[in-house]
Amino acid sequence: MRWHAEDVERVVLHVDLDQFIVAVELLRRPELRGRPVLVGGTGDPTRRGVVAGASYEAREFGVRSGTPLRTALKRCPQAVFLAVDRDAYLAKSALFTAALREFGGIVEEAGWDEAFLQLDTADAQHDAESVRSAVPARTGLSCSVGIGDNKLRAKLASGFAKPGSPLRDETGTFRLDQHNWAPTMHQRSPEALWGIGRKTAARLAEHGLTTVGALAAADRSALAATFGPRNGPWLVALARGIDPTPVRGEPYRPRSYGREFTFQEDVRDPAELRAELARLSHLVADDLREHSCRAGRVVVKLRDSHFRTHSHGIPVDPPSADPETLTAASHRALARFTPTRPTRLIGTRAESLTSDET
């Protein structure tokens, strides 16, 4: 079939693997399909830790990623708890992006379980359905595909294509572009937009902007006065479905590398906190060296016994991946805390990354 130039359009597909971490585990344990399955920590829900992945059946009990394991056990005592297997997820993620690259467009990895695919095509729907077939053929994992005329709309569209969405059809795809943006989005809360969280939505509501449509019609200069000269107009553009961000084909690089640890008993002893930070800093250093990166900033996070989380950052100059340098920076950041309660979780994160090749 010969294409004519006027028939070809440029589209962005957002491909999102369904319940990724749990789905990988179900490939190895098919007998667990249809049961509430939770993945987190060592798989022991009596120990402290958080849920890394929840099956759709488990989510019906109000359990999500980030839910403490002990809370998850109370909400869903019949769930099957499994340990995290990071290497298995990375291996499946590599197969996933390899499958997308076979389509010949520009692939931008957005994480372990999602990616953007830019295509010039005469039949976007056919290509989206082809992706939905190719990904499980290569990985054994199902996916949802959103079709958009930019990354923002494609990302939102894949959410509408997810299992359980009232807009999902038998193809497992959904298209969101300038033609159906208003009827699909305008009556939704601004929090439905990619990039707007609960706090921003609450601030918008204080100004009477409780729907995407109201935000799209808002005066940009007025919002600039409240939310800042860049954020104000950006919020309006977001509500109008505008996103000039290009799909980039460079290999995915995390913006940071971090490790954290949840103590089984709350800790008050500063020496114990420093020792754990040293251990975590060495692990982060290993991550940096594996990916040929150096850190220009280290951020330490503490979560206290009341689940309140605080962080402090320290610059690293010159940037480094040396474990002792990162440990020293983490200890300096820890010294900035004035904890009033014992600590249940501690973490350190390397940010402001630079490549060894630069």
pLDDT score of 168: 87
Give the pLDDT of residue 169: 83
Kindly state the tokens that stand for 91.
């291996």
Burial of 2-29, coded b for 16+ CB within 10 Å and e otherwise, reads eeeeeeeeebbbbbbbbbbbbbbbbeee
Q: Confidence band (pLDDT; 50, 70, 90) for 247?
A: very high
Give the per-residue pLDDT at 117.
98
Question: 77: how many CB neighbours lie within 10 A of its CB?
Answer: 10
Q: Residues spanned by CATH 1.10.150.20 within the chain?
A: 183-239
Mean pLDDT of the chain: 94
Find the radius of gyration of the CA atoms of the chain: 23
Cα–Cα distance for residue pair 18/158, rounded to 1 Å: 10
Whether pLDDT at 255 is above 90? no
Q: Let me know the angle formed at the C-alpha of 10 by 5 and 16, rounded to the nearest 5 degrees.
A: 150
pLDDT score, position 2: 52
Q: In Å, how far are 20, 152, 154, 191, 201 from 176, measured between CA atoms? A: 23, 9, 7, 17, 22
As a whole-number percent, the residues of the chain with pLDDT over 70 amount to 98
Q: Say which residue the tokens 């900033």 belong to.
A: 297
Which pair of tokens denotes residue 221? 């200069």
DSSP letter, residue 214: H
Closest CA to 20 of 138, 106, 139, 168: 139
State in words which class domain 20-86 has.
alpha beta
Whether pLDDT at 71 is above 80: yes
* Superfamily of 257-355 according to CATH: DNA polymerase, Y-family, little finger domain (3.30.1490.100)
Q: Which two tokens stand for residue 194?
A: 């990619």
Q: What confidence category does residue 3 fall into, taking pLDDT thresholds of 50, 70 and 90?
A: low
Please answer whether residues 13 and 127 qualify as being in contact, where contact means their C-beta atoms are separated by less than 8 angstroms: yes
Note the pLDDT of residue 273: 97
Assign domain 183-239 one CATH number from 1.10.150.20, 2.60.130.10, 1.10.10.10, 1.10.40.60: 1.10.150.20
Task: Phi first, then psi: give them for residue 287, nearest 5 degrees.
Answer: -60, -45
- Selecting among 25, 57, 109, 114, the annotated active-site residue is 114
All CATH 3.30.70.270 domain ranges of the chain, comma separated, are 5-18+87-176
Q: Is 57 one of the annotated active-site residues of the chain?
A: no
Banded pLDDT at 5 (limits 50, 70, 90): low
Instruction: For 280, list phi and psi in degrees, rounded to 5.
Output: -65, -40
Q: How would you label 36-67 residue by residue, b for 16+ Cβ within 10 Å and e otherwise?
A: bbbbbbebebeebbbbbbbbebbbebebeeeb
Q: Give domain 5-18+87-176's CATH number out of 3.90.1150.10, 3.40.50.20, 3.30.70.270, 3.40.50.720.
A: 3.30.70.270
pLDDT above 70 (res 77): yes
Instruction: Reply yes or no on whether the pLDDT at 299 is more than 60.
Output: yes
Average pLDDT over residues 262-288: 95
pLDDT for 355? 85
CA distance 329 to 336: 11
What band does 132 get if pLDDT is binned at 50, 70 and 90? very high
Q: How confident is the model at residue 6 (pLDDT cuts 50, 70, 90)?
A: low
pLDDT grade for 14, boundaries at 50, 70 and 90: very high
270: exposed, middle or buried (C-beta count within 10 Å: 0-12, 13-18, 19+)?
middle
Predicted confidence band at 62 (pLDDT cuts at 50, 70, 90)?
A: very high
pLDDT band at 183 (very low <50, low <70, confident <90, very high): very high
Flag whether pLDDT at 1 surpasses 70: no
Cβ(123)–Cβ(21) under 8 Å?
Answer: no
3-state secondary structure of 339: coil
Q: Is the dihedral of CA 75, 77, 80, 86 positive or negative?
A: positive
